[in-house]
Structure 1
Amino acid sequence: MRRKWKFKQYSVLPGFGLTFGFTMMYVTLLILIPLLMIFFNTFEMGWERFWATVTDPRVVASYKLSFGAAFVAAFINAIFGMLIAWVLVRYDFAGKRILDGLIDLPFALPTAVAGIALTTLYASNGWVGQYLDILGIRIAFTPLGIMVALTFIGLPFVVRMVQPVLASIEKELEEASASLGANRYYTFTKIIVPIVLPALLTGFALAFARALGEYGSVVFISGNMPMRTEITPLLIMTKLEQFDYQGATAIAAVMLVISFFMLLFINLIQWWSGRRHA
């Protein structure tokens, strides 16, 4: 028998109408109206000027760099964030609380400070960069440096999403799997991963979205070379400094639409994964 979906769910606390009204007002004022203004301002420039602005080779190159670097950084964080969360949940060791606290440091650290620190560290004369330079590996002022910065600021999103899910998994579940003859690989891939996958995808989506809009930490380590290391948020800031507000909103609108569909796709995968393993 199919369950009917109700708009108004029962609650022991009254006041759904009032709280729902405040919720919609809050979301409208803080999210919907500002986003709609981007499109309204863009429509005033005309289709030909809009198309010329968003398809400029310099702008297209920034799209490829921003989305590509954000995706790679989020993917790296998904792998190593899962590993870090597993270590923090499953093992006890000296300095565990310190390590757990360090995970949140990118949240509290100003992005400009993070960018300066990473540039100083990975520049050709930096503590790490000077040794990598001998091997012919350059990080600062290259697309690789952008990925490093985006990985740095996106790691906490994955760890903090996966960590409580791993903590909620009973160890008896793994013991039961082992007692039935399953090896560690089977237990991890067939039991642990399906439970953690929705949270992992959520962390990936949050890290990806955060990386797309990152500006402060990237602007220092990228070098801001057009067609090579210039990200889209920097290009938007350049348009604003030139008082080309419509050009800036046009680029922002394209970023917004592409980001929306990519996040929608990730959320659909997450929903499908949750239903499949429910």
Structure 2
Amino acid sequence: MGLAPTFRTRMRRVPSVLPGFGITLGFALLYLGLLVLIPLAAVFWRASGLGAQEFFALATHPRTLAALKVSFGASLAAAAVNAVFGTLTAWVLVRYEFPGRRLLDAVVDLPFALPTAVAGIALTSLYAATGPFGALLAPLGIKVAYTWTGIMVALVFIGLPFVVRTVQPVLQDLERDQEEASASLGASRLHTLVRVVLPTLAPSLMTGFALAFARAVGEYGSVIFIAGNLPYRTEIAPLLIVIQLGEYNYAGATAIAVLMLIIAFVLLLVLNLLQAWGRRRLGGR
């Protein structure tokens, strides 16, 4: 008899500011279904109109493979660049006080607000052979605009804020006690960075990398102006979809979209698994 009140106390629900689990789960599934699952299902359904043979022929067409290679290759490369320089930018914004720091912090978010077409035009005018930067690089034999390098420049521009904004809060919460303890034990700065700081930043860094990559894969407006759009060389997959739509080949456009969805899903799944592994490893230390 004496255990009954204790049992009832343990079974008492903890009050919450949100509705119950059933209601919130239902709203979450409804919201996810209307905005994500149903549109994606419609894409797969529309692509099924091609048939297996036509879908395979379109998927293995050299122009399609070249466009997918450009899109995903440049996106991975740009995300890797942003992972390095975005972390450095976040480090400077968090660890140092200097004139103009707040302005620099605000400028980081500029790619979020700037229309992608405006960004593409601006980057093209800067890096074209007659532009301020392009004219300086041309004598060195470096051509940026209308090349694969130009695509990377555009993707780095639109993806940088994702890495900065995911790493910055972790750096702000990161206490310096561990760094000071590592230094007091005789560790070098490089050793402290590799063994103390980077393992803590790894999950957020991986998240920023995945967000920058996902944003770059579907980018269109800022890339088409600087890419040159040469088939088999600088043509991106989203542009190939637009070309198919312009030819009223809706099934072909959705088929390419399905290919992009499948490849992007697999790559993001791998990144999420790596992120989860990093968190488990960090939690076990």
* Global fold match (TM > 0.5): yes
Name the counterpart of 1:5: none
**How far is 1:17 from its partner?**
1.5
Q: Which residue of 2 aligns with 1:65?
A: 70
1:90 matched to 2:95? The reply is yes
Q: Distance in 2 between matches of 1:34 and 1:131?
A: 46
1:23 aligned partner:
28
- In the aligned structure 2, how far is the partner of 1:110 from the partner of 1:76? 22
Which residue identity is paired with 1:248? A
Who is 2:233 aligned against? 228
Q: Please name the residue that 2:8 is paired with.
A: none
Number of the residue aligned with 1:12: 16
SS in 1 for 2:76: helix
Q: Determine the structure 1 residue equivalent to 2:153.
A: 148
Does 2:102 correspond to 1:100?
Answer: no
Q: Distance in 2 between matches of 1:109 and 1:96?
A: 21
Q: Does 1:173 align with 2:164?
A: no
Say which is worse superposed, 164-173 or 214-223, in terms of deviation.
164-173
In the alignment, which residue of structure 1 is the partner of 2:266? 261
Instruction: Please report how far the alpha carbon of residue 91 of structure 1 lies from its aligned counterpart in structure 2 after TM superposition.
Output: 0.4
Instruction: Find the partner of 1:237 among 237, 242, 255.
Output: 242
Structure 1 stretches of 4+ moved >4 Å: none
- Aligned partner of 2:241: which letter? I
Letter in 2 for 1:12: S
Structure 1 counterpart of 2:189, from 184, 192, 201: 184
- Alpha-carbon distance change, 117 to 47 in structure 1, aligned in 2, over 3 angstroms: same
Alpha-carbon deviation of 1:11? Answer: 5.6
Q: Distance in 1 between matches of 2:46 and 2:37?
A: 14
Give the 3 Å change call, closer, same or farther, for CA 158–239 of structure 1 in structure 2: same
Alpha-carbon separation, structure 1, partners of 2:27 and 2:279:
30
Instruction: Structure 1: give runs of 5+ residues left out of the alignment.
Output: 1-8
Question: Which residue identity lines up with residue 242 of structure 1 in the other structure?
Answer: E
Q: Give the share of equivalent positions with the same residue, in percent.
A: 58
Aligned pair 1:40/2:45, yes or no?
yes
Deviation at 1:10?
Answer: 5.8
Which of 48, 53, 56 does residue 51 from structure 1 map onto? 56
SS at match of 1:128: helix
1:157 aligns with 2:162: yes
Q: Which has the larger radius of gyration?
A: 2
Q: CA 1:10 to 1:146, structure 2 compared with 1: closer, same or farther past 3 Å?
A: farther
Distance 2:15 2:96 in 1: 40
More divergent stretch after superposition (86-95 vs 40-49): 40-49
Q: CA deviation at 1:34?
A: 0.3
Task: Report 1:206-217 matches (<5 A).
Answer: 206-217=211-222
Once the two structures are superposed, residues 245-271 of structure 1 have per-residue CA deviations (whole angstroms, 9 ceiling, x without a partner) of 000000000110010000000010000
Moved more, 196-205 or 41-50: 41-50
Match of 1:132 in 2: 137
Deviation at 1:173, TM superposition (A): 2.0
Aligned equivalents of 2:212, 2:136: Cα separation in 1: 29
Q: Distance in 2 between matches of 1:246 and 1:10?
A: 52
Instruction: Give the counterpart letter for 2:174 in structure 1.
Output: I
Aligned Cα root-mean-square deviation (Å): 1.1
Aligned residues: 270
Tell me which residue corresponds to 2:201: 196
**What's the CA shift string for 1:139-178, capped at 9, x where partnerless?**
0000100000000000000000000001101122211221
Structure 2 residues not aligned, in runs of 5+: 1-12
